[in-house]
C-alpha cells in the first residue's frame, strides 16, 4: 500500500500487515509529522474521464536540496532543517572578501595611530611589593573565609561582597583562596602577589 505524508507530500510503501487493527499512527521520516493511516481498502470506483473544464493536476515536484545543509525537501522558500531563506542565501565563494582586518563597524582603523597611542612599556609587577602579609590573610581565610573577610583585607571589595553573599561560593571559592594563600599565589587588589608571611 502507498501512503503519503500530509505535510511534506512524500510517498512511502507500507506493508498492510504492519497495521494492527483498522488504523495506525505513522511518523514521516523526512519531516517528523505524525499522521493516521487506515487499513481499509477504498471501494472500487469507476475510472473517471477528465472533463474539459477540469484543470490538470499539479505534477509532483522532485525534492529540492538545501544548498547549505544538503537536506532533501519539497520546494519552499526556506529550509525545514537549517532555516535559511533561499532567496537571501549566498554561498561563501560568492561573498565579498572582508574589507580590512582592523575594521570597526565599517570605519577603517589606522594601525599606525593605534600603535602610537599604545603604552610602549606597561608597568612590571614582578619587582613591586605590597604592605599586606600572608599570615593575617591566612588566619582571616581560615576563620572567616566563608564571609570573604580576607578579600576585604587585601582590598578586593567586590569579590569580598560576592563571597559574603554566597558564603564563600558555597565553600568552594574559600577553599581555592585558602590553597592559593598557602602556595603564595594569592594577590592583592593591584594584582601583586603577597609573599611575605610577617
Give the confidence band of 128 by pLDDT, cuts at 50, 70, 90. confident
Task: Count the neighbouring beta carbons within 10 Å of the beta carbon of residue 193.
Answer: 16
What average pLDDT score do residues 38-42 get? 65
Q: How far apart are the first and last CA of the chain?
A: 89
What's the pTM? 0.37
How would you classify residue 15: left for phi > 0, otherwise alpha for psi between -120 and 50, otherwise beta?
beta
Tell me which range, 103-107, 112-116, 159-163, is most confidently predicted by mean pLDDT: 159-163
User: Residue 175: pLDDT above 90?
Assistant: yes
Q: Which residues contact 196 (CB under 8 A, 6 or more apart)?
A: 129, 133, 134
Task: Give the separation between CA 9 and CA 78, rounded to whole angstroms.
Answer: 16
Burial class for 181, CB neighbours closer than 10 Å (0-12, 13-18, 19+) = buried
Give the confidence band of 99 by pLDDT, cuts at 50, 70, 90. low
What average pLDDT score do residues 14-31 get? 78
- Mean pLDDT for the chain? 75
Per-residue model confidence (pLDDT) at position 177: 92
Joined grid coordinates for residue 197? 608571611
Question: Taking the domains of the chain in order of start, what are their residue ranges?
Answer: 2-38, 63-93, 134-183
Task: Count the neighbouring beta carbons within 10 Å of the beta carbon of residue 106.
Answer: 6
Question: Hey, is 49 helix, strand or coil?
Answer: coil
Task: Give the separation between CA 197 and CA 174, rounded to whole angstroms.
Answer: 19
Output 45 or 66, whichever has higher pLDDT: 66
What average pLDDT score do residues 87-94 get? 70
Output 102 or 137, whichever has higher pLDDT: 137
Per-residue model confidence (pLDDT) at position 98: 58
Per-residue model confidence (pLDDT) at position 110: 55
Output 14 or 123, whichever has higher pLDDT: 14
Task: Give the separation between CA 136 and CA 144, rounded to whole angstroms.
Answer: 11
Amino acid at each position: 500500500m502507498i501512503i503519503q505524508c500530509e505535510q511534506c507530500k512524500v510517498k512511502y510503501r507500507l506493508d498492510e500487515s504492519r497495521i494492527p487493527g483498522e488504523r495506525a499512527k505513522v511518523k514521516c521520516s523526512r519531516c517528523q509529522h505524525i499522521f493516521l493511516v487506515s487499513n481499509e481498502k477504498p471501494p472500487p470506483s469507476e475510472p473517471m474521464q477528465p472533463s474539459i473544464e477540469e484543470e490538470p493536476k499539479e505534477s509532483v515536484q522532485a525534492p529540492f536540496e538545501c544548498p547549505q545543509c544538503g537536506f532533501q525537501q519539497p520546494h519552499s522558500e526556506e529550509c525545514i532543517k537549517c532555516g535559511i531563506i533561499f532567496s537571501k542565501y549566498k554561498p561563501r565563494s560568492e561573498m565579498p572578501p572582508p574589507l580590512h582586518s582592523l575594521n570597526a563597524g565599517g570605519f577603517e582603523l589606522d594601525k599606525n595611530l593605534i600603535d602610537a597611542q599604545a603604552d610602549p612599556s606597561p608597568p612590571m609587577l614582578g619587582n613591586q611589593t605590597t604592605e599586606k602579609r600572608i599570615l593575617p590573610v591566612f588566619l582571616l581565610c581560615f576563620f572567616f573565609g566563608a564571609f570573604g573577610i580576607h578579600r576585604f583585607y587585601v582590598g578586593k571589595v567586590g569579590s569580598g561582597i560576592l563571597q559574603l553573599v554566597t558564603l564563600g561560593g558555597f565553600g568552594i571559592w574559600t577553599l581555592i583562596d585558602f590553597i592559593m594563600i598557602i602556595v603564595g599565589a594569592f594577590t592583592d587588589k593591584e594584582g601583586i602577589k603577597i609573599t611575605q608571611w610577617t
